[in-house]
A and B are shown apart, each in its own frame.
Chain A
């Protein structure tokens, strides 16, 4: 065997191994969580309130699930409209203009801002200056700022992927741009936009750092009141482990969180591939 053949073989082995390694990581994470957390998941865990001493060592996680839903809902309410309008501006109205270029750059930089810095900002602005206190409202705002760039970029790309001929034909027929947008472009990009929103939803549901400083409480009933602190799944997991409340409950909470996010992710992937099929038709 020549030297070249040997090095080639070694490289090939390395490439295969690094690919398999990633596969293995995901399998290991999920199967370990199922093994450790699975036995503790039952209807009482999902639908019950935290119980036992210290609080949370027994019982369920319903308030944390509710809190996470409220936070995510609020984040989407705050971010979808500005996110979509920005995306439409970037893909339709602004196109390659100077201003659009600048906005693109700003949005891109925004997605690089560490989530704890977003939390810091909302803490100073909402929690302290505006006097909201640690609250659902502040957490929703922090998550909204965090997912805003995600929504802009994914919707922009979905809109840009719509065949240019639709725009050209509509324009040459003298159809108003807003009408073309509403009746032709948006419907054709809907699946991709929805996929982006689902991704943003998952991103917000799993984020811990920003809500840790703005919204989360160790125990709360998460009724949905805007100025009350809430419980949240990721923060609950952090507390269960870090305060040594219950490792089993922590594994079960992690499993619930991961299953929830993987479902969202899979749905988003499916919508994304649906969009690609629409684009290629």
Chain B
């Protein structure tokens, strides 16, 4: 190729370099964040020990000697997020199949923006409504002194992640090639059969992926669980116990911890555990999905 204008070429190179460096720097922010949080929490890992910190069941950060065990919070986090997934999955998948196969065009045209709007409602509003309406309802209906529980938090989170499960699963269902649909329809199977036996197995990778994303979101959600889960630092033994998931712990105690104290460092350690949990779930399921071939099972 003939060089037309060397100055222009230099300018283009410079622009290219600017773009590369900005993109690189801003995405490396993630690693910087991880390193920074690791650094802030380092004394906890070296003094308390990884296993003791993770498996300890007592959290008394300011007593002497202080005790740092986050097992109750880790367990609460898993319980709340897992429960939310349990509730949201059937509804989300059902709605995704409805949108992809059954909904008449005008109904779908209403439902899609509605899903979008549900994602637009901030978590503090969900938490507020959960606490002001749902908890009140539990208290009156079941005659409880206080209605907060991990179950209530799961319910609120389920509503919050429902739009994400639905939207991503619908995309997965729609990305199945038309030849499967045509072949099935020409064989005269019902739409239900087509959806459940052909489209869902073919789209299962994407549908499971949508669940993982939703699970990560539910684990990291702060306001809703903070207002609904009850905030008690005890090991939860059932879905209907109160608990305090990791994000709530951090949000509640960070402001009152003295910077540089062990309490402060322990909160950073809790943050690191939370983010590693989210990453682990994502990676683990990605590996699993990698091995799971999508396809229609012969039967």
Contact = CB atoms under 8 A, between A and B. Distances in A.
- Determine if chain A interacts with chain B: yes
Interface of A: 4, 7-8, 11-12, 14-19, 21-23, 25-26, 29, 32-33, 81-83, 85-86, 88-90, 92-94, 99, 102-103, 106-107, 109-110, 112-121, 123-125, 128, 134, 145, 148, 174, 176-178, 202, 205-209, 212-213, 234-235, 237-238, 241-242, 247, 250-251, 254, 257-258, 261-262, 264-266, 269
A85 B21 CA distance: 9
Contacts of B247: 114, 116, 209
23 contacts: A11-B192, A18-B90, A19-B94, A32-B129, A85-B22, A86-B27, A90-B23, A93-B20, A99-B24, A107-B27, A110-B30, A112-B217, A113-B33, A114-B274, A117-B250, A120-B268, A121-B37, A145-B33, A206-B125, A213-B251, A241-B227, A257-B125, A262-B120
B220 A19 contact: no
B122 A12 contact: no
Given A19-B95, A19-B103, A265 B117 contact: yes
Nearest to A7: B192
Contacts of A209: 123, 222-223, 247, 251
Contacts of B94: 14-15, 17-19
Contacts of B121: 29, 206, 258, 261-262
B30 A22 contact: no
A206 B124 contact: yes
A103 B250 CA distance: 29
Interface in B115-152: 115-118, 120-125, 127-129, 131-133
Interface string B217-228: 101111100010
A20 B44 CA distance: 49
Contacts of B220: 112-117
Interface residues of B, number: 88
Contacts of A29: 121, 125, 129
Contacts of A128: 259
B91 interface: yes
B208 interface: no
A123 B259 CA distance: 10
B125 A258 contact: yes
A125 B32 CA distance: 11
Question: What DSSP secondary structure best describes chain A's contact surface?
Answer: helix
B254 A26 contact: no
B20 A26 contact: no
A2 to B, nearest CB: 11
A113 B275 contact: yes
A143 to B, nearest CB: 12
Question: What DSSP secondary structure best describes chain B's contact surface?
Answer: helix
Contacts of A234: 122, 124-125, 223
A250 to B, nearest CB: 7
Contact of A242 (B26, B191, B195, B227): B227
B201 to A, nearest CB: 15
A33 to B, nearest CB: 8
A11 B91 CA distance: 12
Contacts of B4: 174
Contacts of A23: 110-111, 114
A120 B116 CA distance: 29
Contacts of A118: 33
Contacts of B98: 15-16, 18-19
A120 B37 CA distance: 8
A120 to B, nearest CB: 4
Contacts of A8: 190, 192-193
Contacts of A206: 120-125
A175 to B, nearest CB: 10
